[in-house]
A and B are shown apart, each in its own frame.
Chain A
């Protein structure tokens, strides 16, 4: 029997506010443990939470970008559980009435663009951080993160493969980062994901028993964990074993998932409306204003790049991975309007310099103006593409202008045909044996001659001209 997987994802994204969700402590990451707490986020009796307006605005921004309906009235609820990272013994979250529902995002699959439905987006607060002592039976609690605003984005169980799950996460992350509402950093935990997975025989309508998989801190690990879990469940069903509804932790070193088997497994969160917080009203005017100010989103930008500039979808996807990179591309293009050439240079040379980190763009010494200047110099035949790469490296390390570097290092391409003819003749004279073999029909040697001429010119010869001159000179020699 064939089985298929059904995957739903829960994503937690930390909002980029300056202060916490319900108090005025800073959200700054990496401070000394417990330096950013107050009676409110420590859960002291008698304090009252007051919602951060910006946290709401960011939530609405994301919700609108994901085509959600905004609920004018929503409600905060208490999610109760005992854990030392949660000083109030409850987390302020939303339950029955979330701020946004019924959205979707588009993902690219092998079969084309597919919509993944969003059940809801709700606001909640983060918990603190626990560090477990490796030698002693104690844990250390840091409450700096306690109360940092989060949104939880819950997908419909519509994802079918680990690849689709990774695509979905990339799409969500790109939108969050484009909107400037989350930095999307998976390693630091500002973008986290849990997965609900079940398998069922192909054709069956009802869902199988699901497990929840946690502890996946990269796109690759999400894919690995899901594949392992799907294989494990399929195998169990084939052998007639039942699937146990449980939470499983992914272990990145073994690539497997294991049951948590904790006493708290049977969670009873006893959600109820938080009596400290009145219902939340989102002003329709605010929604309208935020909707008007939404920037162009990654999928729209990608489509526009393909249509407007005629570059391949692959290029468009790479270039729109971040707003900064897309802006860099468009700015360069304004000054040097050859899209494919600009795209190639950004995707290979620039990305190599950035070591694949789009975030490095801000500190990159080469500005779009300088890249455009360099491309113009190649286009005008002043330097060869090969020399240009060396010039580009120099530009990256010194921040210098291409023309200045080329002059200083004497890299101007030799396009003087008289000088080059001399060089070509010398190479042919020095390699009489090869010339004879070439004239006897060993055509492959042509490349050897090109290489020798380029070497003799220290890479500065105009390659097209070298080709033409070689053809001419070799033909001349065939007559003797």
Chain B
């Protein structure tokens, strides 16, 4: 195994996922398969090759700095599980 239980726990924490013990075993095996597969790619010599975003040479398009209408406040808040006034309301978080 390339990946430890502890690493599975850490990845789950970063992704805010709660995993049951049997899920941990299952995902550990899956993550392990993925990493092994990636190792295959690592065998290709790429020392002098520029990283590439796609097979065609394209760059990000840009738009003009023009304001267009936003969502109405009601639409903007329509998926909110909780709101106060026109703000989303969430459990208190202070970093």
Minimum C-beta distance from B16 to chain A (A): 6
Identity of the chain A residue whose Cβ is nearest the Cβ of B68 in the assembled complex: A24
Contact in complex: B59, A34 (CB < 8 Å): no
Report B8-35 residues with CB < 8 Å from chain A CB: 14, 16
Q: Is the beta-carbon distance between A33 and B66 smaller than 8 angstroms?
A: no
B94's nearest neighbour on chain A, judged by CB, is A132
Q: Is B1 an interface residue (CB 8 A)?
A: no
Query: Does B63 belong to the interface (CB within 8 Å)?
Result: yes
Cα distance A51–B58 in the bound complex, in angstroms: 14
Q: Which of A63-109 contact B (CB under 8 A)?
A: 73, 75-76, 80, 82-84
Complex contacts, B63 vs chain A, CB 8 Å? 24, 50-53
Chain A residues with CB below 8 A from B87, complex form = 33-34, 131, 140-142
A270 at the interface (CB under 8 A from B): yes
Q: Which of A55, A76, A84 has the most CB of B within 10 A?
A: A84
Min CB gap B87→A, angstroms:
4
> Does A138 contact B62, Cβ atoms closer than 8 Å?
no
B86 A33 Cβ-Cβ under 8 A = yes
Nearest Cβ in chain B — how far from A331, in angstroms? 31
Binding stretch for chain B, among A35-43, A114-122, A320-328: A35-43
Tell me, yes or no, whether B44 is within 8 Å of chain A by CB.
Answer: no
- A136 and B89 CA atoms in complex are apart in Å by 11
Out of B16, B60, B77, B95, name the residue touching A277 (CB < 8 Å).
Answer: B60
Within 8 A of A (CB), among B43-95: 51, 53-54, 58-68, 70-71, 73, 76-77, 84-95
Whether B53 contacts A262 by the Cβ 8 Å rule is: no
The size class of the interface chain B forms with chain A is 20 to 34
Total count of chain A residues near the partner, CB < 8 A:
52
B88 touches A264 (CB 8 A): no
Instruction: Tell me the smallest distance from the CB of B68 to a CB of chain A, in Å.
Output: 4
| Nearest-CB residue, chain B, relative to A282 | B59
A279 touches B59 (CB 8 A): yes
Instruction: Give chain A residues whose Cβ lies under 8 Å from the Cβ of B61.
Output: 50-51, 278
Q: Chain A residues near B65 (CB, 8 Å)?
A: 17-19, 52-55
> Which chain B residues lie closer than 8 Å to A34 at the CB level?
73, 76-77, 86-88
Chain B min CB distance to A56 (Å): 7
B67 CB to closest chain A CB (Å) equals 5
Tell me which residues across on chain A come within 8 A of B58, comparing CB atoms.
278
User: Nearest Cβ in chain B — how far from A278, in angstroms?
Assistant: 4
Report the minimal beta-carbon distance from A57 to chain B, rounded to whole angstroms: 9
Are B60's CB and A51's CB within 8 A?
A: yes
Q: Is A351 an interface residue (CB 8 A)?
A: no
- Verify if A385 is at the interface (C-beta below 8 Å from B): no
- Do A50 and B62 touch across chains, with their CB atoms under 8 A apart? yes
Q: Known: A37-B70, A82-B16. Contact between A32 and B86, CB under 8 A?
A: yes
Q: Do A35 and B88 touch (CB < 8 A)?
A: no
| Smallest beta-carbon distance A191→chain B, Å | 20
In whole angstroms, what is the CA distance A131 to B84 when docked? 11
User: Is the beta-carbon distance between B70 and A278 smaller than 8 angstroms?
Assistant: no
- Closest Cβ neighbor of B58 among chain A residues: A278
Given A53-B62, A82-B16, A141-B88, check contact A35 B70 (CB 8 Å). yes
12 contacts between A and B (CB under 8 A): A17-B65, A34-B77, A34-B88, A50-B60, A50-B63, A73-B59, A84-B88, A139-B93, A139-B94, A140-B89, A264-B95, A278-B60
